[in-house]
Amino acid sequence: MHDPDPGSGQEPAEPDEGSAAAARKAWPPGGRPTTAALALAVAFVAAGAGVYALASSGGGSSDAKPLAAKGPTTVEVSPGACGKGWSSAAPGPQVFALSNTSSSAAEVDLTDPATGAVYGEVEGLAPGTTREMRVVLGGGSYAFKCLPDDADAVTGPTVKIAGASTGSGPAAVPVTQHDLIPVAISYQQWIAAKTVELTDRTDELKRAIDDGDLASARDAWLPAHLVYERMGAAYDAFGDADAAINGAGPAPSEAASAKDFEGFHRVEYGLWHGESAASLRGPADRLSQAVHALRDSWPQERLDPAQLGLRAHEILEATAQSELTGRTDYGSGTNLATARANLDGTRELLTLLRPLLTSRYPDLPRLDAWLDRTQHTLDGFGAGGHWTPLDRLGRQDRQRVNSDVGQAVELLAPVATICDARRTA
């Protein structure tokens, strides 16, 4: 029995398995989600236009017929005539043909001039080109903002639409680099503390192997590995250290003959495939050296604030691709423990981003509920430091894990979009 949605008093709706599966196929392994993938959780992406709406709170009927869009209305994009061509509109779907008549590329936002909230955006509109923006507008005031490359932003005339404001599509006030810097500093400090814990845990693992106590080494391996797995949003800043500590390595079936196989997974393979302590001392020593080097070098590293929202989404995305497929199981059978640690890492970053998300992401309570549900599901497969291996899950349990993580991944996609740092001036 799943925990109910604390925000609604009832259990969260079941995820759309089709859209979740399509999204996972669209995401490149270990890389930034494609625009097509983000479109499954964001309001829409206009084909070929690079236009997207910000996070939607949902609530519409899935079988409702879409209203016909009005337009296209040609709108000029230039420092001297930003927004020229649009002077009135009725509520409902709109299509704008944005025409860049200037000599430089520009970003174009459709905004609420009072709050700065963005309803639609086109990036990289080249000189002499026209692209469409599709939005849904209710009653209210709107203005185009043109942000030319290497020049100040220009806001066009305000257009007022009569009617109820509830008819508008999703919008959010832009997050800027300045907004994200305090988040990056706090997260950097949190990672610094984790590198110390990681070093201590890895040293315990190494000592057990050095002493020839492989039973103790197997007990020490998972706690050390999970510390690293909770640090997922910083992996990109770790550089070569990430590969040395936790590189994916070869396919498990090819690990016995693989060369240059290092890190936690190399030690895992040896511990659960009958290797001697003597054969594992070298891999354990190199792992320890890499961990110590990371701890010592981390104070000089700097996180990119603009990447934090994306990382919040990618941690569980990678979990779905690697841990829930068994791709990274080299014998310990602890993929579900790793997934649980990844969930902890996601929540740590969301805690720091929450002040920016609370007023911008209406579905944040629903995301929280699904993360709670996913945690409850995963916790059901671990007790006393022992975890059910993936290949021992029944079909129903396997589907439940995949479903919960998949829905959480979809609800995290708008976090990446909302926290993508934008220009406002």
CB 174 within 8 A of CB 145: no
Same domain? 235 vs 375? yes
Decide if 112 is inside a domain: yes
Residue 168's pLDDT is 87
In terms of pLDDT, which residue wins out, 13 or 259?
259
Whether 266 and 352 share a structural domain? yes
Assess whether pLDDT exceeds 50 at residue 57. Answer: no
Which tens digit of pLDDT belongs to each residue from 317-337? 999 999 999 999 999 999 999
Same domain, 162 and 194: no
**pLDDT, average across residues 354-378:** 97
Residue pLDDT, tens place only, 252-270: 888 888 888 999 999 999 9
By percentage, how much of the chain surpasses pLDDT 90? Answer: 75
Tokens, residue 177 = 């680099």
Does a structural domain hold residue 64? no
Q: Is residue 291 included in any domain, yes or no?
A: yes
Task: Name, in order, each residue with C-beta under 8 angstroms of 398's C-beta and a sequence gap of 6 or more.
Answer: 390
> Is residue 282 domain-resident?
yes
pLDDT for position 257:
82
pLDDT in tens, 60-89: 333 444 455 656 999 999 999 999 999 999
Asked whether residue 197 is domain-assigned, the answer is yes
Question: What CATH number corresponds to the domain at position 150?
Answer: 2.60.40.420
For 198-225, the pLDDT digits (tens) are 999 999 999 999 999 999 999 999 999 9
139 and 184 inside one domain = no
Confidence of residue 412 (pLDDT cuts 50, 70, 90): very high
The domain boundary residue, chosen from 136, 167, 198: 167
Q: What total number of domains does the chain contain?
A: 2
Same domain, 81 and 191: no
Per-residue pLDDT band at 3 (split at 50, 70, 90): very low
Q: Among residues 119, 143, 167, which one ends one of the domains?
A: 167
**Of 27-31, 93-97, 242-246, 387-391, minimum mean pLDDT range:** 27-31
Q: For residues 293-299, give the mean pLDDT.
A: 96
| Residue 13 located in a structural domain | no
Of the residues 119, 142, 167, which one is the last residue of a structural domain? 167
Least confident among 191-195, 244-248, 415-419: 244-248
Q: What pLDDT score does 52 carry?
A: 35
Closest to 362 (Cα-Cα) out of 59, 144, 128, 73? 59
In a shared domain, residues 300 and 202: yes
Question: What percent of the chain shows pLDDT beyond 70?
Answer: 83
Q: Is residue 53 part of a domain?
A: no
Does residue 17 fall inside a structural domain?
no
Mean pLDDT of 230-256: 89
**156 and 192, same domain (yes or no):** no
- Regarding whether 228 and 82 lie in a shared domain, the answer is no
Please tell me whether residues 302 and 201 are part of one structural domain.
yes
Closest CA to 72 of 144, 131, 138: 131
Average pLDDT value over all residues in the chain = 86
Same domain, 160 and 183: no
Instruction: Report the range of poorest mean pLDDT among 4-13, 73-82, 106-115, 144-153.
Output: 4-13
Q: Are strands 106-111 and 140-148 parallel, antiparallel or unpaired?
A: antiparallel
Give the pLDDT confidence score for residue 420 in this predicted structure: 92
Pair 236, 119 in one domain? no
CATH number of the structural domain spanning residue 297: 1.20.1420.20
Q: 209: domain range? A: 177-418
Same structural domain for residues 128 and 85? yes
